[in-house]
Structure 1
Amino acid sequence: MEQRRRSGRDGPRRRRGGVSDRSIYERALGEAFQDLHPKIQRRFGFDSDDDVAAVGRGEMRYVRNGGLLVYSFLLVGATHNTMFPEENTAVPFEVRNYAYVDAYGRETVSWLRRFRMPRERRFDAAMIYSEDRDCIVDYLGTRHHLAVDIDLSVSDEGGVHIRSGDQRLYAFGRGVDFPMFLSARADVHEWYDEDAETFRIHVEVRNDVVGLIFEYEGRFDVEWVDCDTVPEKHRSVSPTRGE
């Protein structure tokens, strides 16, 4: 079940129909945000004014990849805290989400994932809502060499369905559109399982040429913790690009 540890209030401050009025995900989904399961609304509905963090802990049923064809690519990804080459089952998992305002004055949500393979592997990202691009932009890894446009929708289960779109590769201070046939396309589904009283997630990353690159599936529970300031070590994933 979802766990709570709050001082004086239960979960993020609620405004306007029970969700935060500045959530980047609500801005992206618009009125469809109200179609999300209440637990998913809470998880994707907090912002920097709420002074909380969502900490999810659970287990991935499996973490796997496309094998030798993508092994070198995943090795490089591991050095930037994105995808990694190890595979395993029953993998202990943690995800930390902090909402804060970045150096560009934008609402930002960090996604700090930890997988014990058993060696700890990280998969870090930071998301913002881009006015210019009219969508969520996902900055991947520690250096943010890759910026990915994100399309959000509501699944039949009342979960969040995330699909990656246009991608830009940054090098030497310039962004270059990455050809889609070379891109790694992500398909993410996160929802709340009423029967099991837990959050579930499935992530699949594929390429049009080589097929499967990276995939994991599992469950986690969420604890809300006070977070008056974002720990400095977690600001390391703050976006360094101004899209």
Structure 2
Amino acid sequence: MKRLTWLILLTALPWLIAGCGKGKETTADKGRQEVGKQEVKKADDMDMKSLTMESIQKEGKVQEVAPGTVQITPERQQLIGVKIGNVEMKPLEKVIRTVGRVDYDEKRIVTVSLKIGGWIEDLYVDFTGRFVRKGEPLLTIYSPELVSTQEEYLVALQAKKSLTKSPFPEVARSGSSLVESAKRRLKLWDITDEEIQKLEESGKSKKTLTLYSPFSGFVLEKSAYKGMNVMPGMALYKLADLSIV
């Protein structure tokens, strides 16, 4: 019986010794862990006090941000092409490239035509694309009707001088009415007062009529040619002011 008891004690003794040693090690480990945690906490507290924005960015530590702030990783920033710069006050501008068509302003296009028929003798503006100024001569035209009207005007002037000497007022006034009628016809054909004055001074009718540009602009279309027979109302030039398009 005694032998059996000693045998059991000898068998269980290693287990008892191992259990006691393990308990001591566990208690020692727990003590060391608690001390380590306290030291880490103190170190963290000291680090947080000494941290600056630069140190956080350098060390890559996480920082608290305001609500609504968007954070993008450096890899994502490089992928989407984020650029960082200083905040400046400047007007917002954006360049828009598109396709369009530049055309003439219809309110700045003039068609030049004659109010009398005849033949073009001299052509001063003889190609499209040329720039002409207002009052610049475009062409000269020979018109038998124009020549006869000038002759009528000169005759009316001579008659007026003779009739003004008449003792009868009605006869004197008739001479003035003939002159005004012939002069009105010349003006209807765009004969200027200056040209009529020259006609009165010279006393001789002109064979040709000079057509002047009524507008400053570029020649878009030209249908006039030297020696061409033209009719009243025929479009000879189309001019456009390209200062505004």
| Interval containing the TM-score (normalised by the shorter chain) | under 0.3
TM-score computed with the length of structure 2 as normaliser: 0.18
TM-score of the aligned structures, taking structure 1 as reference length: 0.18
Largest Rg, 1 or 2: 2
Structure with bigger strand share is 1
Which structure has more RCO (C-alpha within 8 Å, separation ≥ 6)? 2
Structure that is richer in helix per residue: 2
